[in-house]
């Protein structure tokens, strides 16, 4: 057989399948122990939601499952060593785990586990043997993953003489046949005896009918329970027992496969008539008549592919798929396909279109709005039965015929739950069109997280496009993770460019904000990298850039307000060797700011202001502006912080006499309004304020000082309006 190479060492991947409770985990652990004793570097991956596969290899201890780990740990904090533990004889131990009982799809969890391990670098650890211990009662799309060619070179079936156990083994053969594509991969049957009368004969009839050898016959023994109580394997605790000798027959069989001495066999499952004969204790005559016919698919997407495009990874206020779509659709000369229901794509495109309408004057000539760069496979409820592969293939082909050249495919909860093999579908089409660009981002929000998780995963995908041979240019900078959801006005983009052009610098790439494929490829032309904000998603993207490209991203976000702008100017001058010019530009901009705020101060000085902060991480720019305008800030009421984020950074105005309140609800804000009767209420929430109070919304403006001055003018104009609109007095 053709051996895989991993880290320079030959690798064989073995899957051990069997009905739940048949003893496959015990058998797997003993095989791993025996193989390790033969000098093989072994990794055992438990793929059963019970997550007890590796206990006997870890002195009876349980370990953190991959699914619980990815649920509780943000992507940029995940480490391979947290989920791969070293057991006895140096055996690597992994447990996939499963969702809460009755919630979610355990099979989908297997897909997520394998993808996570791959992203974290498991393939670089140099194992000789990977052994997958897999539940085989129902070979659904998720639990069938280890049957795929890329994961299993050989498959062992653990069974007893009970009919349901044999029935499960036959079902596993059916699943394996659907993935074989003519490649023999069945290793044989392991009989784990229950002590039934005629047990060997029953399994022997089935083995003869499907053309497989019984590799080992493990006797029923108290030694298993004794070893389990001690947190050890039988092969470890009772090495000279008959049980241990039978188990070593399996490890010898694995080594025989590795060395080419033992042949693998084709999957030849029985049909219902054949299984009825087995159930009745009869031999299966003329076996070919009782075998299930192999169903070969003419679907091109099922063809074996020599390479992968990618899978990068990986809910609830807004799902991971929405975040990934937002990131991928920022590439202006590409199309992003949402592999999911029409409703999901509608929500994603609607938010994009509303933003584009709000800043319609900033869309350059010929640029396609982001909402129009998103397509959908329009999944409906039938895909849970029939799958969505055909929908995705047809959508890609339709878009190719329309002239599109670059494609991102983002998976949703639905495509993940049903186990659509999106990678293979895209690979097949990619092989037909090597001149086109394809990238898959598996961002199934049902397990992997919320909007931010998907956004970070899309950044991970986009960074693979970067040409790392390109060097930095003297006058170029990059902007990272810009996201202006609520900004309006034709000068939005101009202010971003002007921020740097005033220093004689140009923006090379606006990473994940209206970028071209070429600008992302040439990302490393930028001599400095500036992050737009300090939120978690921006920090996650910055961390990815630093780890994948080996370049530094400035810790401080793009400046807003005088204090931040002055520090930014000083940094630009120092890094680009233009201290004099930077100081001159800063003095000019700050002087213009002071002049305008002084003129507006006449209308605002002495006015009382209440600030409600429900979503913003940092409002110091706003407080700085209000103080420069001469207002009195009576309170800053902050709402609860999202569970993923750390506490908001302390304000530099915390000791200035301004009253700060944390974890405020709407009732707290209304109570403060009654208490202080402010002249103006400023809020970053869209909820309307009480009658009789001048109010307006705010959000972090475009970088520099011009956006701040825009708010200054708005606040001043509020004083010219009546506290209660005239229409409210009409009876």
Domain termination residue (choose one: 439, 463, 487):
463
- Based on the domain organization, do 170 and 286 belong to the same domain? yes
The answer to the question of residue 202 being in a domain is yes
CATH number for the domain that contains residue 338: 3.40.50.1980
Which pLDDT band holds residue 8 (cuts at 50, 70, 90)? very low
Domain range spanning residue 710?
598-728
Tell me: pLDDT of 728 over 70: no
- The pLDDT of residue 43 is 97
- Based on the domain organization, do 358 and 447 belong to the same domain? yes
- Based on the domain organization, do 117 and 188 belong to the same domain? yes
The answer to the question of residue 578 being in a domain is no
For residue 19, indicate whether it is catalytic.
Answer: yes
83-119 confidence digits (pLDDT tens):
999 999 999 999 998 766 655 566 667 777 888 898 8
Q: What are phi and psi of 132, to 5 degrees?
A: -100, 125
Per-residue pLDDT, averaged over 424-449, amounts to 87
Tell me: pLDDT of 292 over 90: no
Largest CA distance in the chain: 102
Tell me: pLDDT of 485 over 50: no
- The pLDDT of residue 488 is 42
Most confident of 150-164, 376-390, 429-443: 429-443
- The pLDDT of residue 362 is 45
Structural domains of the chain, count: 4
- The pLDDT of residue 4 is 45
656-667 confidence digits (pLDDT tens):
889 999 888 888
CA angle 574, 576, 577 (to 5 degrees): 65
Q: Mean of the per-residue pLDDT values for the chain? A: 84
For residue 50, indicate whether it is catalytic.
Answer: yes
Least confident of 27-41, 58-72, 127-141, 419-433: 127-141
- Based on the domain organization, do 323 and 282 belong to the same domain? no
Tell me: pLDDT of 290 over 90: no
- The pLDDT of residue 305 is 36
- Based on the domain organization, do 374 and 497 belong to the same domain? no
487-511 confidence digits (pLDDT tens):
444 455 678 889 999 999 999 999 9
Q: Where are the alpha helices (DSSP H) in 154-283?
A: 163-180, 199-210, 223-229, 234-237, 242-258, 272-279
Label residues 592-628 b or e (16+ Cβ within 10 Å = b): ebeebbeebbeebeebebbbbbbebbbbbbbbbbbbb
- What is the pTM (predicted TM-score) of this model? 0.63
Q: Which residues are within 8 A (CB) of 278 and not within 5 positions of it... i.e. 6 or more apart?
A: 163, 166, 202, 205, 206, 209, 270, 284
Tell me: pLDDT of 731 over 60: no
- Based on the domain organization, do 119 and 258 belong to the same domain? yes
- Based on the domain organization, do 412 and 452 belong to the same domain? yes
The answer to the question of residue 650 being in a domain is yes
Which pLDDT band holds residue 249 (cuts at 50, 70, 90)? very high
Tell me: pLDDT of 646 over 60: no
Three-state SS for 9? strand
- Rounded Cα–Cα distance for residues 657 and 678 (Å): 17
- The pLDDT of residue 445 is 58
Domain termination residue (choose one: 270, 290, 310):
290
- Based on the domain organization, do 209 and 142 belong to the same domain? yes
Question: Closest Cα partner for 309 from 273, 337, 345, 347?
Answer: 337
Contact 54, 26 (CB under 8 A): no
The answer to the question of residue 472 being in a domain is no
- Based on the domain organization, do 397 and 270 belong to the same domain? no
Three-state SS for 108? helix
Two structure tokens written together for 488: 């309006």
- Based on the domain organization, do 271 and 311 belong to the same domain? no
Contact 301, 393 (CB under 8 A): yes
For residue 137, indicate whether it is catalytic.
Answer: yes
- Based on the domain organization, do 387 and 519 belong to the same domain? no
The answer to the question of residue 505 being in a domain is yes
The answer to the question of residue 535 being in a domain is yes
- Based on the domain organization, do 355 and 443 belong to the same domain? yes
The proportion of the chain whose per-residue pLDDT surpasses 70, expressed as a percent, equals 82
- The pLDDT of residue 446 is 54
Least confident of 387-396, 522-531, 544-553: 387-396
- The pLDDT of residue 68 is 87
Least confident of 203-212, 219-228, 597-606, 684-693: 684-693
Question: Closest Cα partner for 509 from 498, 518, 361, 500?
Answer: 518
- Rounded Cα–Cα distance for residues 489 and 364 (Å): 14
The answer to the question of residue 295 being in a domain is no
Contact 36, 213 (CB under 8 A): no
Least confident of 202-211, 482-491, 584-593: 482-491
Cα 202 → chain centroid: 46
Distances (CA, A) of 285 to 265, 277, 509: 20, 9, 70
CATH number for the domain that contains residue 126: 3.40.50.300
The one catalytic residue in 19, 40, 352, 487 is 19
3-state secondary structure 546-572: HHHHCCCCECCCCCECHHHHHHHHHHH
- The pLDDT of residue 67 is 87
Q: Which residues are within 8 A (CB) of 419 and not within 5 positions of it... i.e. 6 or more apart?
A: 107, 108, 111, 140, 141, 142, 144, 145, 387
- Rounded Cα–Cα distance for residues 293 and 12 (Å): 29
Per-residue pLDDT, averaged over 40-50, amounts to 91
Which pLDDT band holds residue 700 (cuts at 50, 70, 90)? confident
The answer to the question of residue 575 being in a domain is no
Q: What are phi and psi of 502, to 5 degrees?
A: -65, -20
The one catalytic residue in 137, 153, 535, 637 is 137
Least confident of 187-196, 570-579, 662-671: 662-671
Three-state SS for 241? coil
């Amino acid at each position: 057989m053709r051996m895989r190479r991993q880290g320079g060492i030959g690798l064989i991947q073995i899957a051990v399948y069997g009905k739940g409770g048949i003893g496959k985990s015990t058998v797997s652990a003993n095989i791993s122990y025996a193989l390790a004793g033969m000098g093989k570097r072994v990794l055992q991956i438990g793929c059963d939601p019970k997550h007890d596969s590796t206990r006997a290899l870890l002195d009876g201890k349980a370990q953190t499952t991959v699914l619980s780990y990815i649920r509780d740990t943000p992507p940029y904090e995940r480490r391979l060593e947290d989920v791969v533990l070293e057991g006895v004889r140096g055996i690597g131990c992994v447990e996939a785990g499963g969702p809460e009982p009755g919630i979610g799809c355990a099979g989908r969890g297997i897909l997520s586990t394998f993808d996570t391990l791959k992203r974290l670098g498991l393939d670089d650890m140099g194992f000789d043997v990977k052994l997958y211990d897999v539940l085989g009662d129902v070979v659904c799309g998720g639990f069938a993953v280890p049957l795929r060619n890329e994961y299993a070179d050989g498959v062992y079936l653990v069974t007893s003489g009970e009919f349901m156990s044999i029935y499960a083994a036959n079902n596993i053969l059916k699943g394996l046949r659907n993935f074989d594509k003519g490649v023999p991969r069945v290793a044989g049957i392991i009989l784990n005896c229950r002590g039934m009368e005629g047990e060997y004969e029953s399994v022997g009839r089935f083995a003869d009918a499907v053309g497989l050898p019984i590799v080992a016959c493990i006797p029923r023994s108290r030694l298993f329970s004794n070893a389990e109580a001690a947190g050890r394997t039988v092969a470890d605790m009772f090495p000279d027992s008959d049980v241990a000798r039978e188990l070593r027959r399996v490890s010898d069989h694995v080594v025989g496969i590795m060395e080419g001495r033992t042949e693998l066999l084709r999957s030849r499952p029985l049909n219902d008539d054949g299984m009825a004969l087995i159930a009745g204790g009869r031999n299966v005559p003329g076996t070919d008549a009782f075998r299930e016919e192999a169903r070969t698919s003419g679907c091109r997407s099922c063809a074996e592919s020599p390479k992968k495009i990618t899978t990068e990874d990986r809910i609830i206020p807004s799902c991971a798929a929405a975040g990934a779509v937002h990131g991928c659709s920022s590439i202006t000369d590409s199309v992003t396909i949402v592999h999911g229901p029409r409703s999901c794509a509608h929500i994603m495109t609607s938010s994009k279109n509303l933003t584009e309408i709000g800043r319609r004057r900033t869309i350059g000539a010929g640029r396609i709005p982001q909402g129009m760069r998103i397509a959908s496979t329009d999944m409906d409820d039938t895909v849970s039965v029939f799958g969505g592969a055909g929908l995705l293939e047809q959508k890609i082909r339709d878009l190719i015929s329309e002239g599109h050249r670059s494609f991102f495919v983002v998976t949703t909860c639905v495509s993940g739950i049903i186990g659509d093999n999106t990678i293979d579908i895209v690979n097949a089409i990619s092989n037909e069109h090597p001149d086109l660009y394809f990238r898959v981002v598996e961002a199934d929000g049902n397990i992997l997280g919320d909007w931010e998780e998907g956004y970070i995963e899309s950044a991970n995908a986009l960074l693979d496009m970067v040409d790392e041979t390109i060097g930095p240019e003297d006058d170029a900078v990059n902007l990272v993770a810009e996201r202006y959801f609520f900004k309006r006005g034709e000068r939005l983009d101009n202010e971003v460019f002007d921020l740097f052009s005033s220093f004689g610098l140009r923006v090379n790439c606006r990473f994940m904000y209206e970028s071209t494929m070429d600008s992302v490829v040439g990302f490393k032309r930028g001599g400095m990298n500036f992050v737009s904000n300090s939120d978690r998603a921006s920090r996650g993207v910055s961390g990815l850039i630093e780890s994948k490209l080996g370049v530094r991203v400035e810790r401080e976000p793009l400046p807003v307000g005088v204090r931040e702008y002055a520090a930014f100017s000083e940094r630009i001058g120092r890094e680009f060797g233009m201290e004099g010019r930077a100081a001159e530009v800063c003095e000019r901009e700050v002087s213009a700011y002071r002049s305008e705020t002084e003129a507006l101060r006449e209308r605002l000085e002495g006015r009382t202001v209440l600030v409600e902060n429900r979503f913003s991480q940092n409002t110091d720019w706003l407080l700085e502006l209000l103080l420069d305008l001469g207002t009195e800030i009576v309170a800053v009421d902050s709402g609860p912080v999202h569970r993923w984020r750390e506490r908001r950074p302390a304000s530099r105005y915390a000791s200035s006499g301004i009253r700060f309140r944390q974890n405020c609800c709407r009732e707290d804000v209304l109570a403060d309004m009654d208490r202080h009767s402010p002249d103006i209420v400023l809020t970053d929430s869209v909820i309307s304020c009480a009658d009789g109070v001048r109010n307006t919304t705010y959000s972090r403006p475009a970088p520099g000082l011009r956006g701040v001055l825009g708010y200054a003018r708005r606040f001043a104009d509020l004083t010219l309006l009546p506290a209660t609109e005239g229409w409210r007095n009409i009876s």
